[in-house]
Amino acid sequence: MALLDLLISEIERKMYPIKIRFGVGVGTITTEVNKEMSLGADGTGYYKARNAIEYLKDNEKKNQTNTADIRFEVESEDQSTTIMINTILSLLTAIKDLWSDRQREIIWDMLEYQDSQVDVAKRLKIKQPAVQKSLAKGKYYAYKDALDKIGKALEEIKR
């Protein structure tokens, strides 16, 4: 899983049940980067991130079903990869919205530690078949595969 996926996933876990929107802009930064304070920073990367957040807010206001809580906007002539990423993110949000609290706990543990069902069961003090059942019902393997595909697509964007 890509670093960005891990960061977003960790923030989601720590803030749950509060829903957070993530707008990610990929573009140039035209000002000097000040690591202490981003105030005054400028460039298309910032504008793209703002556009992504505005898009998510507008869709939420329209009460659209299964809207994503993460959106990418990329400074590029070819938007096909960005469209694919955002479509997958919408589908992943639809899957996440169906998770029970127990499924969410198990799936987040699997995503965080990237190890076996037996190890998850030990950490959560449950039996391995319960882990397997929750992963299956929560569509964990499809979810994880989609996250991995997004990571690969983002690597293509970086080039």
pLDDT confidence bin for 102, thresholds 50/70/90 = very high
Tell whether the model's pLDDT for residue 42 goes beyond 80.
Answer: yes
> What is the rounded distance in angstroms from the CA atom of residue 107 to the CA atom of residue 130?
12
Largest Cα span, the chain? 53
pLDDT one-digit tens code per residue, 130-154: 999 999 999 999 999 999 999 888 8
Tell whether the model's pLDDT for residue 66 goes beyond 60.
Answer: no
State the pLDDT at residue 3. 72
Record the pTM. Answer: 0.83
Angle formed by the axes of helices 140-158 and 101-113, to 10°?
Answer: 50
- Residue 30 structure tokens: 């035209």
Tell whether the model's pLDDT for residue 68 goes beyond 60.
Answer: yes
Any idea which of 26-35, 59-68, 69-78, 112-121 has the lowest mean pLDDT? 59-68
Q: Percent of the chain scored above 90 by pLDDT?
A: 53
135, amino acid identity = L
Section 63-83 average pLDDT: 82
